[in-house]
Amino acid sequence: MTPRILVFAGSTRSGALSGKTADAATKELALQGADVTRISLLDYPLPILNEDLERDKGVPENAVKLARQISNQDGVLIATPEYNSSLPPLLKNTIDWISRVSTDAQGRPMRAFSGKPVALCSSSNGGFAGVRAIAQLRAVLVHIQAEVITPQCSVPRAQEAFDEKGAFIEERLQKSMTRVCRTLIEHARLFSRRAEG
């Protein structure tokens, strides 16, 4: 089977380093035979999570669209930046809203991330490579029952990590990304077969 993988970054800023990391992952996943969908959270604006808003107006349509899109994929790859040693609010808020969606388009029970293989990447301008943010992201996703794979790709000094074509300059980083994508594809195939069985 050809696994369907959704890729997005935790930043919508023009030229964002997490966006470049997500683009590198998209290329590598495609090279390894995945059917890749690359989206931008810029196309899915959401209000700050507020239970009063949810009670009065329901879960925003963009959160529903994202949840159902994730549910229809075999795997997900998220590339996060690091803000003040933590997750960016855009990414955390998006995941929180997605976790509030409880039914699919047919009204059947659904939890978008539950049992879904997820790969994580991070990037930062400094030497820590976003590892504090990626650790927190892993914890959040595990809490909502995602199957977060062990390998991850963290890109230090990311402003210098890519060539003019968007490829990693260092072989070490490319090997890390190759391993992440290979492992995600393997898990996506495995979990897809389990769901079919």
Distance CA 129, CA 144 (A): 25
- Into how many domains does the chain fold? 1
Q: Residue 137's domain spans which residues?
A: 4-196
| CATH number of the domain bearing residue 152 | 3.40.50.360
pTM: 0.95
- pLDDT of 137-165, one tens digit each? 999 999 999 999 999 999 999 999 999 99
CB 166 within 8 A of CB 134: no
Would you say the C-alpha torsion 167, 80, 177, 42 has a positive or negative sign?
negative
Tens of pLDDT along 72-99? Answer: 999 999 999 999 889 999 999 999 999 9
